Structure 1
Amino acid sequence: MRVAFISDIHGNAVALDAVLADIQNKQIDQIYVLGDLCYRGPEPRRSLDTIRTLDTKVIKGNADEWVVRGVREGEVPDKALVLMNSEREWTVSQLDPADLDYLKDLPTELHLEIEGVSISAYHATPESLFEIVPGSSEDAVLQAKLMSAADSTIYVYAHIHKPFIRYIGGKVLINIGSVGLPFDGLAKASYAIVEVDHKRISTSIERVAYDIEKVVQLYQEVNYPNSEMMGRIVRNGSV
């Protein structure tokens, strides 16, 4: 069985379309979504509607929580708080109350069993939607923060927008990167594939090209707050 994990779409429906086309070409059996669906992109509603047509399990990310209740002091640098809440308010204006209820009620973790292989997945950590755990952390830190809440073979998370695969203590840890806003300097959408075949495990990070200039133009056309900076992030694949 081949499954795809996608996350951090951030309202970039153009990148999402490209990733879903790539997933279809690779004949994936199931898709799982690890949060951050709408906020900070020019097409929040289309992104959310597309995710909801997938008939799959979706969990909540920190940006989904922000859409529901706003960005709070201490969650971002002080100098960014007003701007990020203006972006949040614009995003909410593109959605309806049922969309907000959907985001509010999303679960925060997944526990899967695929052909005898157990997989735990969450947005940031099992305990938090917000904590940043870089891939460069020591093995002991990654184990404590990301791999201790359940006895699984594979652990999958998102949030940091920098994909990687590491093998620690006989387990697999995957960060799947970001569909809509990669931060690792490669301006291509990112997602992960996990294949299990009679307990044989194969994992990969996939990078997918999409029409970046179309997204930059959309930020401007919809009068997105902070459109210039967001356009630079999309073009450069980094903050």
Structure 2
Amino acid sequence: MRIAFISDIHGNATALEAVLADIKEKQIDQIVVLGDIAYRGPEPKHSIKLVQDLDATVIKGNADEWIVRGVQQGEVPDQALELMNQEREWAVSQLDQAEIDYLSNLPSDLSFIKEGVTIHGFHATPSSLFDVVLPSASDAEITDKLTKDTEADIYLYGHIHQAYIRPVDGKTIVNLGSVGLPFDGVTKASYAAIEINKNTVSASIERVDYDIEKTIQAYKDNNYPNIDMMEQILRTGKNG
């Protein structure tokens, strides 16, 4: 059994298509989506459609919540609030109400068992769509924020756009990175794969090349309100 976990697509449909093609080529059995589907990318509508067409379990991320109700003060730096709401308004203008309702009604976390292995997935933390747990977090912080409330063998999350795999107290912690907007300096789409085979379990981070120039051109063609910053992130794989 192989399961692909993807998240933080951020409206980058070109990157998502490349990831889905990679998943198909590797004959992965199941797909799980851990949120942030549409906001901050040039193709929010197409990205939602691609996710809806999957036979996948999907949960909500903070950016999905932002599409629904806007970015609120205290959730981002004050100097970024106005611009990020402009981006949100642009994204909403590309969607119909049914798509916004779809994002609104997504659950916030998931747990399931496959072949005796318990998996817990969420976007940022089990209790928040917004909290940040970085790869440099201490074992105590990871335990407190990610694992203490639900017993599982593997915990997976997105949100920080920095992929890593780390054992903590006998548990495996996996951050998926980002399909559409990586921040870890690798300019490729990222997702995680979990393989369960009888008595063995393995986790890997998969990196997929995609056509960055096509995505940048889509920002320009669609008159996105923050093109320069988004182009810089895509070209460097870093946020600032």
Same fold (TM over 0.5): yes
Instruction: Give the distance between the partners of 1:161 and 1:150, measured in 2 at CA.
Output: 23
Contact 1:8-1:179 at 8 Å conserved across structures:
yes
The 3-state SS of whatever aligns with 2:185 is coil
- Please give the TM-score of this superposition, normalised by the length of structure 1: 0.99
One-letter identity of the residue aligned with 2:55: D
- What is the CA deviation profile of residues 180-211 of structure 1, one whole-angstrom value per residue up to 9, with x for unaligned ones? 00000110000000001113101100000100
- Please give the TM-score of this superposition, normalised by the length of structure 2: 0.99
The residue aligned with 1:155 is 155
Instruction: Give the distance between the partners of 1:83 and 1:55, measured in 2 at CA.
Output: 35
The residue aligned with 2:234 is 234
Instruction: Give the distance between the partners of 2:18 and 2:199, measured in 1 at CA.
Output: 30
The residue aligned with 1:138 is 138
- What is the CA deviation profile of residues 132-176 of structure 1, one whole-angstrom value per residue up to 9, with x for unaligned ones? 110111111101101112110000000000000000111100000
Instruction: Give the distance between the partners of 2:149 and 2:235, measured in 1 at CA.
Output: 37
Instruction: Give the distance between the partners of 1:79 and 1:170, measured in 2 at CA.
Output: 41
Q: Which runs of 5+ in 2 are unaligned?
A: none
The residue aligned with 2:173 is 173
The residue aligned with 1:125 is 125
Deviation, 1:84, is 0.2
Higher mean C-alpha displacement, 121-130 vs 190-199? 190-199
Instruction: Give the distance between the partners of 2:211 and 2:96, measured in 1 at CA.
Output: 28
Deviation, 1:29, is 0.3
- What is the CA deviation profile of residues 31-83 of structure 1, one whole-angstrom value per residue up to 9, with x for unaligned ones? 00000000000000000000000021100000000000000000000000000
Instruction: Give the distance between the partners of 1:20 and 1:145, measured in 2 at CA.
Output: 30
Contact 1:117-1:199 at 8 Å conserved across structures:
no
The residue aligned with 2:200 is 200
Instruction: Give the distance between the partners of 1:70 and 1:164, measured in 2 at CA.
Output: 30
Instruction: Give the distance between the partners of 1:163 and 1:15, measured in 2 at CA.
Output: 16
Contact 1:116-1:199 at 8 Å conserved across structures:
no
- What is the CA deviation profile of residues 82-127 of structure 1, one whole-angstrom value per residue up to 9, with x for unaligned ones? 0000000000000000011100000000101010000000000001
The residue aligned with 1:41 is 41
Contact 1:8-1:161 at 8 Å conserved across structures:
yes
One-letter identity of the residue aligned with 2:190: S
The 3-state SS of whatever aligns with 1:9 is coil
The residue aligned with 2:214 is 214
Provide the alpha-carbon RMSD of the alignment.
0.5
Deviating above 6 A after TM superposition, structure 1's stretches of 4 or more consecutive aligned residues are none
The 3-state SS of whatever aligns with 2:231 is helix
The residue aligned with 1:65 is 65
Instruction: Give the distance between the partners of 2:116 and 2:199, measured in 1 at CA.
Output: 6
The residue aligned with 1:111 is 111
The residue aligned with 2:188 is 188
Q: Which runs of 5+ in 1 are unaligned?
A: none
Instruction: Give the distance between the partners of 1:235 and 1:16, measured in 2 at CA.
Output: 17
The 3-state SS of whatever aligns with 1:57 is strand
Instruction: Give the distance between the partners of 2:181 and 2:131, measured in 1 at CA.
Output: 18
The residue aligned with 1:27 is 27
Instruction: Give the distance between the partners of 1:232 and 1:214, measured in 2 at CA.
Output: 14
2:97 is equivalent to residue 102 of structure 1:
no
The 3-state SS of whatever aligns with 2:99 is helix
For these two proteins, the number of residue pairs brought into alignment is: 239
Instruction: Give the distance between the partners of 1:101 and 1:216, measured in 2 at CA.
Output: 28
